[in-house]
Amino acid sequence: GAGVSQSPSNKVTEKGKDVELRCDPISGHTALYWYRQRLGQGLEFLIYFQGNSAPDKSGLPSDRFSAERTGESVSTLTIQRTQQEDSAVYLCASSLSPGLPGHEQFFGPGTRLTVL
Protein backbone atom coordinates (compact mmCIF):
# COMPACT_ATOMS: atom_id res chain seq x y z
CA GLY A 1 0.00 0.00 0.00
CA ALA A 2 0.94 3.64 -0.27
CA GLY A 3 1.24 4.24 3.43
CA VAL A 4 0.71 2.82 6.90
CA SER A 5 -2.92 1.98 7.55
CA GLN A 6 -4.64 1.45 10.87
CA SER A 7 -8.05 0.20 11.87
CA PRO A 8 -10.42 1.05 13.29
CA SER A 9 -10.00 4.82 13.05
CA ASN A 10 -12.17 5.25 16.12
CA LYS A 11 -13.08 2.83 18.88
CA VAL A 12 -15.40 3.48 21.78
CA THR A 13 -15.55 0.78 24.40
CA GLU A 14 -16.73 0.22 27.92
CA LYS A 15 -14.36 -0.06 30.83
CA GLY A 16 -13.30 -3.68 31.33
CA LYS A 17 -13.72 -4.75 27.71
CA ASP A 18 -10.85 -5.96 25.52
CA VAL A 19 -9.90 -4.14 22.32
CA GLU A 20 -7.75 -5.00 19.32
CA LEU A 21 -6.08 -2.37 17.20
CA ARG A 22 -4.61 -3.23 13.84
CA CYS A 23 -1.70 -1.81 11.89
CA ASP A 24 -0.71 -2.56 8.31
CA PRO A 25 2.80 -1.22 7.60
CA ILE A 26 4.25 0.02 4.35
CA SER A 27 5.13 -2.96 2.17
CA GLY A 28 8.78 -3.93 2.64
CA HIS A 29 9.19 -2.18 5.95
CA THR A 30 10.71 -4.63 8.41
CA ALA A 31 10.44 -2.43 11.49
CA LEU A 32 7.14 -1.53 13.13
CA TYR A 33 6.47 0.66 16.15
CA TRP A 34 3.48 1.38 18.36
CA TYR A 35 3.08 4.68 20.20
CA ARG A 36 0.42 6.15 22.41
CA GLN A 37 -0.49 9.83 22.43
CA ARG A 38 -2.78 11.18 25.10
CA LEU A 39 -4.64 14.38 24.40
CA GLY A 40 -2.24 17.32 24.30
CA GLN A 41 0.74 15.12 25.14
CA GLY A 42 3.80 13.86 23.30
CA LEU A 43 4.43 10.44 21.80
CA GLU A 44 4.83 7.59 24.25
CA PHE A 45 6.76 4.61 22.85
CA LEU A 46 5.08 1.26 23.49
CA ILE A 47 6.78 -1.52 21.51
CA TYR A 48 9.05 -2.15 18.53
CA PHE A 49 8.99 -5.11 16.13
CA GLN A 50 11.78 -6.25 13.84
CA GLY A 51 10.10 -8.78 11.61
CA ASN A 52 7.82 -10.76 13.90
CA SER A 53 9.99 -10.51 17.00
CA ALA A 54 9.74 -7.72 19.55
CA PRO A 55 13.21 -6.80 20.82
CA ASP A 56 11.88 -3.83 22.76
CA LYS A 57 8.66 -4.03 24.74
CA SER A 58 9.89 -1.59 27.35
CA GLY A 59 7.11 0.91 26.78
CA LEU A 60 4.14 -1.36 27.37
CA PRO A 61 2.48 0.20 30.43
CA SER A 62 1.15 -2.99 32.01
CA ASP A 63 0.52 -6.66 31.39
CA ARG A 64 -2.90 -5.69 30.05
CA PHE A 65 -1.11 -4.56 26.90
CA SER A 66 0.25 -7.03 24.37
CA ALA A 67 1.14 -6.99 20.72
CA GLU A 68 2.01 -9.41 17.99
CA ARG A 69 3.08 -9.26 14.40
CA THR A 70 2.72 -11.73 11.58
CA GLY A 71 5.99 -11.94 9.67
CA GLU A 72 6.80 -8.51 8.29
CA SER A 73 3.17 -7.65 7.89
CA VAL A 74 0.20 -6.80 10.04
CA SER A 75 0.52 -6.08 13.74
CA THR A 76 -2.18 -6.18 16.39
CA LEU A 77 -2.08 -4.30 19.67
CA THR A 78 -4.42 -5.79 22.27
CA ILE A 79 -5.55 -4.05 25.42
CA GLN A 80 -7.32 -6.26 27.91
CA ARG A 81 -9.71 -5.05 30.60
CA THR A 82 -9.55 -1.48 29.32
CA GLN A 83 -9.41 1.38 31.80
CA GLN A 84 -10.35 5.01 31.31
CA GLU A 85 -6.67 6.01 31.42
CA ASP A 86 -6.16 3.93 28.26
CA SER A 87 -8.09 6.54 26.30
CA ALA A 88 -5.68 7.98 23.76
CA VAL A 89 -4.68 7.88 20.12
CA TYR A 90 -2.66 4.79 19.31
CA LEU A 91 -0.22 5.40 16.49
CA CYS A 92 1.65 2.85 14.44
CA ALA A 93 4.77 3.63 12.43
CA SER A 94 6.99 1.60 10.15
CA SER A 95 10.47 1.96 8.73
CA LEU A 96 12.69 0.10 6.28
CA SER A 97 14.95 -1.03 9.09
CA PRO A 98 16.11 0.27 12.45
CA GLY A 99 19.60 0.78 11.12
CA LEU A 100 21.22 3.72 9.43
CA PRO A 101 20.34 5.22 7.06
CA GLY A 102 16.75 4.70 6.07
CA HIS A 103 15.05 4.35 9.38
CA GLU A 104 12.77 7.28 8.97
CA GLN A 105 9.53 6.29 10.57
CA PHE A 106 6.28 6.83 8.72
CA PHE A 107 3.12 7.04 10.75
CA GLY A 108 -0.36 5.73 10.16
CA PRO A 109 -3.45 7.85 10.82
CA GLY A 110 -3.92 6.39 14.29
CA THR A 111 -6.78 4.79 16.20
CA ARG A 112 -8.62 7.02 18.64
CA LEU A 113 -9.63 4.88 21.61
CA THR A 114 -12.22 6.13 24.07
CA VAL A 115 -12.94 4.08 27.17
CA LEU A 116 -16.20 5.01 28.86
Partner 1 sequence: QKEVEQNSGPLSVPEGAIASLNCTYSDRGSQSFFWYRQYSGKSPELIMSIYSNGDKEDGRFTAQLNKASQYVSLLIRDSQPSDSATYLCAVNALSGGYNKLIFGAGTRLAVHP
Residues in touch with partner 1 (CB under 8 A): 41-43, 45, 48, 50, 55-56, 58, 89, 91, 98-101, 103-110
Distance CA 2, CA 101 (A): 21
Q: How far is the CB of 76 from partner 1 (least distance, A)?
A: 18
Compute the least distance from the CB of residue 28 to partner 1, in Å.
17
CB-CB contact of 90 with 36 (8 Å): yes
CB atoms within 10 A of CB 23: 27
In angstroms, give the least distance from the CB of 93 to partner 1.
8
Using CA atoms, how far apart are residues 107 and 91, in angstroms rounded to an integer?
Answer: 7
Instruction: Using the minimum distance from each CB to partner 1, give the nearer residue, 5 or 80.
Output: 5
Which residue, 63 or 104, is less far from partner 1 as judged by CB? 104
Nearest CA to 51 among 83, 81, 74? 74
Binning the chain into helix, strand and coil, the percentages to the nearest 5 are: 5, 50, 50
Comparison of 59 and 76: residue with beta carbon closer to partner 1: 59
Min dist CB 16 to partner 1, Å, is 27
**Considering beta carbons, is residue 48 or 65 the nearer one to partner 1?**
48
